[in-house]
Amino acid sequence: MSDFEPKIVVFLCNWCSYAGADLAGVSRYQYPTNIRAVRVMCSTRISAHIVLELFKEGADGVMVSGCHIGDCHYINGNLFTKRRVKLADDLLKLTGVEPERLRLEWVSAAEGEKYSQVITSFVKKVKELGPSPVLKDPKLVTRLGAAVMAAKYFRSKTLTCKEVKLTAKGNVYEEVIGPKEYDLMIERAIEDEYQKSLILTLSSQEARSVIELAKEIGQPTDRILEYVVALRAKNMLALDRIEGTTPRYRATIGGA
């Protein structure tokens, strides 16, 4: 769409990328004006659920930009940023939204030209992707709502903050977890939390059976049943009624 002008939100760390953006302006480097810049003290202030909420509200693209690894004003802040953006990226893939709509860039205070280049490149990519698919597919709002809920879960938030400790120092049993094993553990946890969040979101709208949930979510019935059992054990899902021989469940907490 040649006339499409994307709505893009860019989070800029106060100490590096925001200064880089300022330098780009002073140096008169040209870049598209599609972005809505948000200044934050550190890029790690941007949690995954904030990024996903923006996509849910119809943003065409989101970029998070901070200091280069090793140069963070708050020492390790951008290491957490890297994992949080990866969490948002993984959840976007599960919802069906193109992960290319989310980008992480490291820009220093001295890289005004690089700032203009990454903004130009990202706006071009989002233009190629077209308008947010949320506008055409209301089901994506439900899926993104579930992704927001999953990103807020204690398990997801905790694991994304423990990478340095678990891969370098080890767990409570002094067992060091390798990077690949840690990535696999994170991926499994994210998918589990997303599927459970989606079950809660759908069943908060109306009581649903396991078969209905499996069909709508696109997962095997036995797997959905495992999630239902786990949610019932935590009192997050309750039996609403039985129609014939089919139990129907309703969320006991509000959906996303």
Residue 204, domain member (yes or no): yes
Residue 20, domain member (yes or no): yes
Q: CATH number, domain at 165?
A: 1.10.10.10
CA distance 91 to 136: 20
Q: CATH number, domain at 92?
A: 3.40.50
Tell which wins on pLDDT, 23 or 1: 23
The pTM for the full model equals: 0.89
Residue 145, domain member (yes or no): no
Same domain? 98 vs 174: no
| Phi, psi angles (nearest 5°) of residue 211 | -65, -45
pLDDT in tens, 72-92: 999 989 988 998 999 999 999
Asked if 207 contacts 240 with a C-beta cutoff of 8 angstroms, the reply is yes
HSE-up (13 A, CA, CB side) for residue 51: 31
pLDDT of residue 154: 64
The CA-atom distances, in angstroms, between 135 and each of 8, 73, 97, 99, 217 are 15, 39, 12, 17, 20
| Phi, psi angles (nearest 5°) of residue 146 | -65, -35
Domain range enclosing 85: 8-133
